[in-house]
Amino acid sequence: MTTGLIPGEQPPDPRPAEGLPPQRREPAGQGAMPVENRSRSSVITARAAASFEPLGRSVASARSFVRDTLQGWGFADIVDDAVVLTSELVTNAVVHAGTAADLLCLRSDVGVRIEVADRYPEREIPLQGSPVEMGSPDREGGRGLQLCAALAGHWGVDYTPTHKTVWFQLDLPQRPVGARSAGPALPAHLLPLADTRVRVAVIQIDRSDSIAAWNEDAEELFGYTAEQVTGKPLTDLAAWPHTPGTGTGIADALRLSRWEGSYGIRGAGGRVIPVYASHLRVRDTDGDPSTVCLLVRDHERAVLQTPLRGPASDTGASDGQSTDPFEVFIGSPAPDDLDGLLQRTVERARDMLDGDSAFLLLATDDETELEVRASTGLPSARQRFARVPVEAGPGRYGSARMPAVHEDLTVVPGAVPLLNSTGMRSVVTVPLKVEGRLTGSLGVAAEAPNRYSNEEALRLQFAADRIALAVESARLGELERLRRGSLSFLVEASDLLAGTLDRDQTLALMAQMTVPTLATWCAVYTIADQASDPYLSYVLHEDEELIDGIKSLLSKIPPPDPVPTPGARIWSLPAEVAHQAALRTSMRSLGLSGGPSRQVTPSIGPTLATASAVGGETVVLPLVARNRVIGMLTLGKPTDEHFRQEILELAEDLSRRAALALDNARLYSERTAISQALQRSLLPPELPLIDGVEVEVIYRAAGEGNEVGGDFYDLFPISDGAYGFAIGDVCGTGPNAAAVTGLARHALRLLAREGLSGPAVLERLNSAILDEGARSRFLTLLYGELRPQEDGSAELKVVCAGHPLPLRLRQDGTVEAAAEPQPLLGVLEDLELYEQTVTLDPGDVLLCVTDGVTERREGSRMLGDDGLADVLTTCTGLTAGAVAARIMRAVERFATDAPSDDMAILAMRVPGLHKD
């Protein structure tokens, strides 16, 4: 991969220039753009290129390449669209077209152009507006061009004699700069509310995103001294709102020339403090850039927020033109992001009705719940993303679909759950509706009773009607961006989960994909079978120092019930137990007694940090695979934080994929264990020790996960002073060959111990193999009987039935065959076999191998019998173990590829009366 800046000039075309001129085909319609206009309208400032082989894993590599490139260029706004389009186009090239893919990213001042070229130019691509059908979105292929048409500003297809290139261009969204301006003089009661002492934290971030300066107000707000944080990345403290499928957005915000917005800072006590920030990018006299960050508490945002720009003049009103009611309420220009719009809405609603607090909730897709999205004058960190039912009780005041006025909440406690324990007494709420459908609820509350009547409800309803459509439009835009990020996130998650069949690795991937993208911490419970209880298998927190505390807590409380009902359900036990245990610990440290009534195991002992880590909302999602609950995925937030509905839906999608991957890993592990146990049963037990004879065996089965194949060996006692040995090769490899291996090895032992001679043993084995019928396989076998002699030699009686001949190495280095070839087993019914007698003198070696050794190949070369004999001649004076090891090493070095056939080596050496 190569990247480089090319200021002021066009990059060279990476495709071959020889041959016919390229034929350019572009879709008709608004998305099309003439080539000459496209090349002259902008200047290419950087390029990055990479090539990917026609392999399935190349698609994930291409996605990572595009994501890293665009993030590096600072184009986080268009990363998700670019990744989705690249994934489809590279899939078409490496999977469907079956060729390598060349990927080129071009950066300009107006956007990014990405080109994907394959080497299958004759594969026709249908064009937009053409009578050819582009394909259904539900099909495996054919979606790439539809996505280009839907997401890209411009796209097209180029043809050359050797390449076909599909390109698309994504334009950068316009970022409004927003100039500051003076505001009018206001009465004191209309000024925004702030604490007596307003603290403005001033933090300077150097070019490496590390904290370079930290003032006294920052120490007071967040609890850290300057020495504690200087040199640390701001991302270690910032709780930035994560969007699935994208990186941390604060790094992008720090590189913009100017930025304003909300996020959180994790204080020294572990609690997230909501702040409003204004960033300004500056450079010093040496040209080094840095970012100055001004931060205040979120409810004091008016101190830093850019004042609203009013109308340029009053001429419009004098001409009789009416002012837009929306702009009258919300101001102009309206915030371009949903959170900014909602926050400004609640602040304006509170000021309009002279309230002490205000809140805005958005309805879920099924209109059964409302989710808190913005508030002012309330503990927003505790309330954000909390959910309340739309229908909270009987009557009009129990439904969010109708305006409601509560003059005194102490008379009807719990009527507005959001205001419990906040000190608010009177409240007015009105619905937000679009085309008759409930989209949200807006409320204003005051600490005094009897503050609001139907008149205030009508005023607030009028304002809600003005902003409902804008809020719904901004919500749909945010939802679309989130879903695009979710699509990219799920694609990458599926690739990772499908890439392993290891259970432990699958558990780790599940946790790492959820933290911190979806949750602050997570725990995975697994269930072995229907009768087993859930078992805590994995725990992860974004702060590694808290993992042990959470694991200790969860291991000592009852696990959640394995309910197969889909969807997330609240699990409050961890937060309750952690807070009660921490409170008991604190009271004991103060010498106090009492505390919560629930009995907590003393050994839990969670610290305040652990209690804070699990003190927020905790949800449980079932892991269901093949109609069985195999575990639970538990996701948690720190104290006072809640999950948003879209994140829970994404977590549910992820849990379904993770459950299937975990079950596949379980099945693979079980079958591997069964296979290995059966294979080990086919191998002989430990080789017996034979006085006066050294024996060594090396066995390698071909195929991943195989311990036994078609080759086999055995050495066993027959009678006093006599031992039987065998080495054989069943036709083929794998389980079918291993089945005949087991038959042959056990039959040899039984027949030999009946006192039969070698030829009689093999003849009866031949009959047993033929009795298997269609399952029978021919077998080559070298069988012999070994008797050590008193003079230090050894006498062997050998029968070689179609097997590679055994080789005898003498002390003088000569090598000769120790038997003659005879017919193999499993083919003919009537065999006439005979045995040959061989005497091994002291120092002699008998080498027996299977054809996997002699038929080892490298291209057109083969080791062969002669090559094996040449290696054996170099083994004079070596022990049996050293001989076997040298033969195997020579076989492995003969070729670079992994062996395709089973191999067995049996070496026997007679050291004599006195060992060397």
Q: What is the pLDDT of residues 361-400, one digit of tens each?
A: 998 877 888 888 888 887 655 567 777 888 876 655 678 8
For residue range 395-436, list pLDDT tens digits in order.
Answer: 556 788 888 899 888 888 778 888 887 888 899 999 999 888
Q: Which one has a higher pLDDT value, 596 or 785?
A: 785
Residue 206 has pLDDT above 80, yes or no: yes
- Please state the φ and ψ torsions of residue 96, each to the nearest 5 degrees: -80, -45
Partners of 531 in beta bridges: none
At 174 the pLDDT is: 65
At 602 the pLDDT is: 44
At 34 the pLDDT is: 38
- Please state the φ and ψ torsions of residue 12, each to the nearest 5 degrees: -65, 150
Q: Are 823 and 779 in contact (CB under 8 A)?
A: no
Q: With cut-offs at 50, 70 and 90, classify the pLDDT of residue 6.
A: very low
For residue range 88-117, list pLDDT tens digits in order.
Answer: 888 888 877 788 899 999 988 788 999 999
CA geometry: angle 21, 22, 25, nearest 5 deg: 140
Q: With cut-offs at 50, 70 and 90, classify the pLDDT of residue 327.
A: low
Token pair listed for 571: 């699990």
At 20 the pLDDT is: 37
Residue 450 has pLDDT above 70, yes or no: yes
Q: What would the DSSP string read from start to end of 559-626?
A: PPP----SS-EE--HHHHHHHHHHHHHHHHHTT-----SS---TTT---HHHHHHTSS-EEEEEEEET
At 909 the pLDDT is: 94
Residue 536 has pLDDT above 80, yes or no: yes
Q: Which one has a higher pLDDT value, 278 or 642?
A: 278
At 681 the pLDDT is: 72
At 418 the pLDDT is: 81
Q: Report the range of poorest mean pLDDT among 186-200, 233-247, 675-689, 743-757.
A: 233-247
- How many Å from the N-terminal Cα to the C-terminal Cα in the chain? 60
Q: Are 521 and 550 in contact (CB under 8 A)?
A: yes
Q: With cut-offs at 50, 70 and 90, classify the pLDDT of residue 334.
A: low
Helix (H, G, I), strand (E, B) or coil at 201: strand
Percent of the chain with pLDDT over 70: 79
Residue 141 gets which letter from DSSP? S
| 450-477 average pLDDT score | 88
Maximal CA-CA distance, the chain: 129
At 838 the pLDDT is: 92
Residue 219 has pLDDT above 50, yes or no: yes
| Residues 6 or more apart in contact with residue 242 via CB below 8 angstroms | 248, 516, 517, 518
Q: At what angle do helices 645-682 and 735-752 cross, to 10 degrees?
A: 30
- Please state the φ and ψ torsions of residue 623, each to the nearest 5 degrees: -100, 100
At 639 the pLDDT is: 73
CA distance 55 to 177: 45
Q: Are 347 and 330 in contact (CB under 8 A)?
A: no
For residue range 238-292, list pLDDT tens digits in order.
Answer: 877 655 544 446 777 788 777 777 788 888 877 778 888 888 888 888 888 999 9
At 440 the pLDDT is: 92
Token pair listed for 189: 């009661």
Q: Report the range of poorest mean pLDDT among 48-52, 361-365, 675-679, 878-882.
A: 675-679
Token pair listed for 402: 């109708």
Partners of 908 in beta bridges: 695, 846
At 253 the pLDDT is: 78
Q: Which run of H or E residues covers position 276? A: strand 272-283
Q: At what angle do helices 864-873 and 880-894 cross, to 10 degrees?
A: 140
At 29 the pLDDT is: 37
Percent of the chain with pLDDT over 90: 21
For residue range 882-905, list pLDDT tens digits in order.
Answer: 999 999 999 988 888 877 777 889
Cα 229 to Cα 236, 237, 240, 417, 629, distances in angstroms: 10, 9, 18, 39, 46
Q: Which run of H or E residues covers position 440? A: strand 437-446
Q: Are 82 and 112 in contact (CB under 8 A)?
A: yes
CA distance 270 to 274: 13
Q: Where are the alpha helices (DSSP H) in 757-901?
A: 758-770, 851-854, 864-873, 880-894
Q: What type of residue is 398?
A: G
At 771 the pLDDT is: 84
- Please state the φ and ψ torsions of residue 334, each to the nearest 5 degrees: -70, 145
Q: Are 103 and 115 in contact (CB under 8 A)?
A: yes
- Residue written as tokens 């699509």? 487
CA distance 161 to 758: 70
Indicate the Cα dihedral angle 145, 148, 154, 159, nearest 10°. Answer: -30
For residue range 792-849, list pLDDT tens digits in order.
Answer: 899 999 999 999 999 999 988 999 999 999 999 988 888 889 999 999 999 999 999 9
At 242 the pLDDT is: 57
Query: What is the reported pTM?
Result: 0.53
CA torsion through residues 766, 770, 771, 777, sign: positive
Mean predicted lDDT score pLDDT of the chain: 79
Q: Are 703 and 709 in contact (CB under 8 A)?
A: yes
Q: Report the range of poorest mean pLDDT among 18-32, 34-48, 236-250, 721-735.
A: 18-32
At 116 the pLDDT is: 92
At 795 the pLDDT is: 93
CA distance 164 to 15: 10
For residue range 103-155, list pLDDT tens digits in order.
Answer: 999 988 788 999 999 877 654 544 444 444 444 444 444 556 777 877 788 88
Q: Which one has a higher pLDDT value, 611 or 844?
A: 844
Distance of CA 349 to the CA centre of its chain: 43
Partners of 822 in beta bridges: 801
At 519 the pLDDT is: 87
Q: With cut-offs at 50, 70 and 90, classify the pLDDT of residue 184.
A: low
Residue 190 gets which letter from DSSP? G
Give the CA radius of gyration of the chain.
39
